[in-house]
Amino acid sequence: MVMTHEFEPKILGFLCNWCCYAGADLAGVSRYQYPPNIRIIRVMCSGRVDPKFIFRAFSNGADGVFIGGCWLDECHYVTNGNYHAVEVIKRSKKLLEQIGLNSERLRLEWVSASEGIRFAEVITNFTKQLKELGPLGVPEGKGLDQIQVDIAAAERAINNKLISYYIDPEKCTACGICARRCPEGAIIGGKDKVHIIVQEKCIACNICFQSCPARFAAIERIEADPVPAPIPEEARTVVRASKGKA
């Protein structure tokens, strides 16, 4: 007699430390039952999940990827990272479709720290959905090797930043507030020098955008479009209007 085994999907989950991870912990403490298919990685914010993390999971054979964060407008950071997570998921789903994978394999949900039962229900539902879809690549007619090739080919698009920030040299007054508040040290500029965002260091946390005084509004939020090249060093001196004598 030939024994057949039911397909059990492998799920990789990225859970926000403050809400969804706490909700998962509550589900365990409360003994709420849900399938043991998910392996959890705790992140400080759902906005920290980079598209490269998602596609690396699929490249390594995950049948589904789950991202869990705080409810919208309840993010524990002023950057509202969960809104950024929404954009990441939208873009990642489109890329999945472009390489021939079912976008339903990627799921984003909001779970608060007090919603242990909701976490259990969401994971149960997602596991059931993946069982119906089948193993990664099988319903899509792709082997893991081909999936890895397709993801590598899409790497350039995956690496493109969803959102970038740029300091308008015509508006910058070199006040230095953005540079002092940047957590990555990605903004350079000295006294009386137009500040510049080093794009390779920028994590698009939005802090500079929020900290720039409204009367200057020197920092622009750029979505998906190329960032203008920085002005040359010799043109970065801020010319201040001289005060007239009384």
pLDDT tens string 82-91: 988 998 898 8
Taking a C-beta distance cutoff of 8 angstroms, is the pair 184, 163 a contact?
Answer: no
φ, ψ of residue 180 in degrees (nearest 5): -70, -30
**Cα distances (angstroms) measured from residue 218 to each of 162, 188, 212:** 20, 15, 7
Residue 71 has pLDDT above 70, yes or no: yes
Extract the tokens encoding 193. 């020098």
Dist CA 68 CA 82 (whole Å): 9
pLDDT at 38 over 90: yes
Residue 1 has pLDDT above 60, yes or no: no
- Domain(s) labelled CATH 3.30.70.20 in the chain stretch across 162-235
Tell me if 236 sits within 8 A of 194, measured CB to CB: yes
- Residue 66: pLDDT over 80: yes
Cα separation, 114 vs 27, whole angstroms: 9
pLDDT digit string, tens, across residues 126-155: 999 999 999 999 999 999 999 999 988 776
Judge whether 98 and 150 are in contact, CB under 8 Å.
no
> In which band, very low, low, confident or very high, does the pLDDT at 156 lie, cut at 50, 70 and 90?
low
pLDDT at 158 over 70: no
Across 158-175, average pLDDT: 83
CATH 3.40.50 region(s) of the chain? 11-158
pLDDT confidence of residue 246: 44
CA-based nearest residue to 210, from 46, 77, 40, 12: 77
| The pLDDT value given to residue 190 | 87
| pLDDT (0 to 100) of residue 125 | 98
Question: What is the structure's pLDDT at 3?
Answer: 55
What's the pLDDT at 243? 54
Q: pLDDT: is 231 or 163 the higher one?
A: 231
- CATH number for the segment(s) 162-235: 3.30.70.20
For residue 199, what pLDDT is reported? Answer: 87
At 245, the pLDDT band (50, 70, 90 cuts) reads very low
Q: With 70 as the cut, is the pLDDT of residue 242 above it?
A: no
Percentage of the residues of the chain whose pLDDT score is greater than 70: 92
- The better pLDDT of the pair 122, 99 is held by 122
Q: Which of 40-44, 50-54, 200-204, 222-226 has the lowest mean pLDDT?
A: 222-226
pLDDT of residue 224: 63
Write down the CATH number for the domain with range 11-158. 3.40.50
